[in-house]
């Protein structure tokens, strides 16, 4: 266990409580912290917005991508879908599934987390059949055979835990039933729809290992299980079953919205909630230096209250190493407490190791995003 150097001090004029009751002459709070939002932290009070830069040079920059423009390059096989962001422990893709898969796929590199951004369909896997709808997460354990039968074109965010696995977060003081009760997690079933797809005809399985694809041919459909028992299985969770932690007097950090945990990254979900009502409490995300993690936000739907000109299907990428936070209009609206409720749904990926943006992602980048914090 690491023992951080810790000696809490107060210098100059500061608030007694983080994210609340700021000094009048310094309304901009900045958090400098370690280990995401779990390590030691200091809160500065500034006279100017920490994002008020006038010029930016060099590769370390906030980025925004419009993944709605990726449709033209989308292949049918998920393993041919290009990585958009990646590192040694994580791969982030957006896959368009247009038609029924007449083959199976298996990821031997790690667990896959699917998030249904658009459409609906039926997924068949080793464990049975399950229907997926817009807003569903579906966690697929490593080396599970599966295929999709879309009712309509499906857009799926895919986050691979490379050489790793997913688990649920520790919920600490609030207990195991907070945020979402594990009872809401659904698993596939050996039902009539699954039994109807038993087949003695030839099937192929596309297996991805070390980012290379092998094809295994069977003279029958390998999805032929008649039953199973155990505690390892795919699970489905819809964002509508998430009941977010909240405080009317304190703006909770993003870590409070953690949904899944992997070895070197976490996946969080932002869902509609009341906005803080205490007069002195911060109403928007605080400016922060998340200097140990890269931060990625995929915007699913709603009005993204801390961002300007960001629409559904877009992604923002804030690499570790600089201060970021709400856009000026959002910060002003928060000060005026114009909104009482958020209606955004977004998936956040926070990675301990630096992510690389692929050529495909850079081709749909908005290069002016770095200047979107300027007052207009």
**Greater pLDDT, 305 or 98:** 98
Which helix (H) or strand (E) is 213 found in, with range? Answer: strand 212-218
Over residues 187-204, mean pLDDT? 98
Q: What is the mean pLDDT of the chain?
A: 92
Report whether pLDDT(106) > 90.
Answer: yes
Specify the DSSP class assigned to residue 167. B
Over residues 285-298, mean pLDDT? 90
Report whether pLDDT(242) > 70.
Answer: yes
**Greater pLDDT, 8 or 147:** 147
Report whether pLDDT(73) > 60.
Answer: no
Contact 114, 154 (CB under 8 A): no
Sheet of 90-97: strand order equals 235-238, 136-140, 110-118, 154-162, 90-97, 85-87, 356-357
Residues contacting 170, CB < 8 A, separation 6+: none
- Count the neighbouring beta carbons within 10 Å of the beta carbon of residue 322: 17
Report whether pLDDT(179) > 90.
Answer: yes
Q: Which of 98, 94, 142, 143 is nearest to 116 (CA)?
A: 94
Contact 201, 223 (CB under 8 A): no
For residues 53 and 92, state if they share a domain.
Answer: no
Report whether pLDDT(3) > 90.
Answer: no
Specify the DSSP class assigned to residue 343. -
For residues 323 and 256, state if they share a domain.
Answer: yes
Over residues 154-172, mean pLDDT? 96
Cα 260 to Cα 376: distance, rounded to the nearest angstrom: 38
What is the pLDDT at residue 74? 60
What is the pLDDT at residue 146? 98
Model confidence band, residue 126 (pLDDT cutoffs 50, 70, 90): very high
Report whether pLDDT(376) > 60.
Answer: yes
What is the pLDDT at residue 202? 98
Q: Which residues are annotated as a binding site for Fe cation?
A: 288, 294, 324
Model confidence band, residue 305 (pLDDT cutoffs 50, 70, 90): low
Collapse the DSSP code of 29 into the 3-class scheme (helix H, G, I; strand E, B; otherwise coil) and give the result.
Answer: strand
Cα 255 to Cα 211: distance, rounded to the nearest angstrom: 30
pTM of the predicted model, to two decimals? 0.93
For residues 193 and 315, state if they share a domain.
Answer: no
Contact 19, 29 (CB under 8 A): yes
Q: Which of 101, 62, 44, 55 is nearest to 78 (CA)?
A: 101
Tokens of 231: 């505690």
For residues 184 and 289, state if they share a domain.
Answer: no
Q: In this structure, is residue 3 part of a structural domain?
A: no
Which helix (H) or strand (E) is 186 found in, with range? Answer: none
Q: In this structure, is residue 11 part of a structural domain?
A: no
Q: Which residues are annotated as a binding site?
A: 288, 294, 324
For residues 261 and 122, state if they share a domain.
Answer: no
Q: Which residues are annotated as a binding site for homogentisate?
A: 324
Over residues 8-15, mean pLDDT? 84
Catalytic residue positions? 251
Looking at the chain, list the stretches that DSSP marks H as alpha helix, in order from N- to C-terminal side: 192-195, 328-336, 359-362
Over residues 333-358, mean pLDDT? 92
Q: In this structure, is residue 20 part of a structural domain?
A: no
For residues 363 and 266, state if they share a domain.
Answer: yes
The CATH code of the domain that includes 271 is: 2.60.120.10
For residues 109 and 224, state if they share a domain.
Answer: yes
Domain finish residue from 204, 239, 274 = 239
What is the pLDDT at residue 304? 78
Contact 289, 319 (CB under 8 A): no
Q: Which of 101, 150, 147 is nearest to 121 (CA)?
A: 150
For residues 218 and 114, state if they share a domain.
Answer: yes
16-30, 190-204, 270-284, 350-364: least confident range: 16-30
Report whether pLDDT(72) > 60.
Answer: no
What is the pLDDT at residue 310? 87
Number of domains in the chain: 2
Model confidence band, residue 306 (pLDDT cutoffs 50, 70, 90): low
For residues 176 and 283, state if they share a domain.
Answer: no
Domain finish residue from 221, 239, 257 = 239
Report the phi/psi class of residue 313: left, alpha or beta, with left for phi > 0 and alpha for psi in -120 to 50.
left
Contact 86, 357 (CB under 8 A): no
Report whether pLDDT(7) > 90.
Answer: no
For residues 60 and 143, state if they share a domain.
Answer: no
Quote the domain boundaries for residue 327: 28-64+241-371
Collapse the DSSP code of 90 into the 3-class scheme (helix H, G, I; strand E, B; otherwise coil) and give the result.
Answer: strand
Beta strand pairing status for 294-301 and 203-209? unpaired
Residues contacting 288, CB < 8 A, separation 6+: 30, 31, 32, 33, 323, 324, 325
Q: Which of 188, 185, 220 is nearest to 205 (CA)?
A: 220
Over residues 320-339, mean pLDDT? 86
For residues 85 and 208, state if they share a domain.
Answer: yes
For residues 36 and 120, state if they share a domain.
Answer: no
Which helix (H) or strand (E) is 28 found in, with range? Answer: strand 28-33
- Count the neighbouring beta carbons within 10 Å of the beta carbon of residue 252: 16
């Amino acid at each position: 266990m690491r023992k951080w150097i810790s000696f809490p001090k107060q210098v100059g004029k500061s608030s007694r409580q983080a994210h609340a009751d700021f000094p009048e002459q310094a309304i901009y709070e900045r958090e400098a912290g370690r280990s995401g939002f779990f390590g030691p932290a200091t809160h500065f009070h500034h006279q100017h917005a920490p994002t008020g830069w006038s010029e930016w040079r060099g590769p370390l920059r906030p980025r925004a991508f419009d993944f709605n423009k990726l449709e033209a390059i989308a292949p049918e096989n998920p393993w041919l879908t290009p990585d958009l962001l990646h590192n040694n422990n994580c791969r982030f893709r957006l896959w368009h599934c247009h038609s029924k898969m007449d083959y199976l796929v298996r990821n031997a590199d790690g667990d896959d987390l699917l998030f249904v951004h658009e459409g609906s369909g039926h997924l068949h896997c080793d464990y049975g059949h399950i229907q997926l709808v817009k807003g569903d997460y579906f966690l697929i354990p490593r080396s599970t055979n599966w295929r999709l039968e879309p009712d309509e074109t499906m857009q799926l965010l895919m986050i691979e835990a490379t050489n790793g696995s997913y688990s649920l977060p520790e919920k600490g003081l609030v207990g195991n039933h907070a945020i979402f009760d594990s009872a809401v997690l659904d698993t596939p079933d050996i039902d009539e729809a699954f039994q109807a797809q038993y087949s003695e005809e030839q099937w192929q399985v596309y297996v991805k290992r070390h980012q290379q694809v092998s094809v295994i041919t069977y003279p029958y459909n390998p999805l032929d299980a008649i039953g199973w028992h155990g505690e390892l299985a795919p699970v489905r969770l819809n964002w509508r079953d998430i009941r977010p932690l909240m405080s009317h007097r304190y703006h909770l950090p993003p870590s409070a919205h953690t949904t899944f945990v992997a070895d070197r990254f976490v996946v969080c979900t932002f869902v509609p909630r009341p906005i803080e009502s205490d007069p002195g409490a911060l109403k928007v995300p605080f400016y922060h230096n998340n200097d140990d993690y890269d931060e990625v936000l995929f915007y699913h739907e709603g009005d993204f209250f801390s961002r300007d000109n960001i629409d559904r299907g877009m992604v923002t990428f804030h690499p570790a190493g600089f201060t970021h936070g709400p856009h000026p209009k959002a910060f002003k609206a928060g000060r005026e407490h114009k909104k009482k409720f958020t209606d955004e749904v977004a998936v956040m990926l926070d990675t301990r190791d630096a992510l690389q943006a692929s050529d495909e992602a850079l081709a749909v980048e908005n290069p002016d995003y770095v200047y979107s914090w300027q007052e207009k």
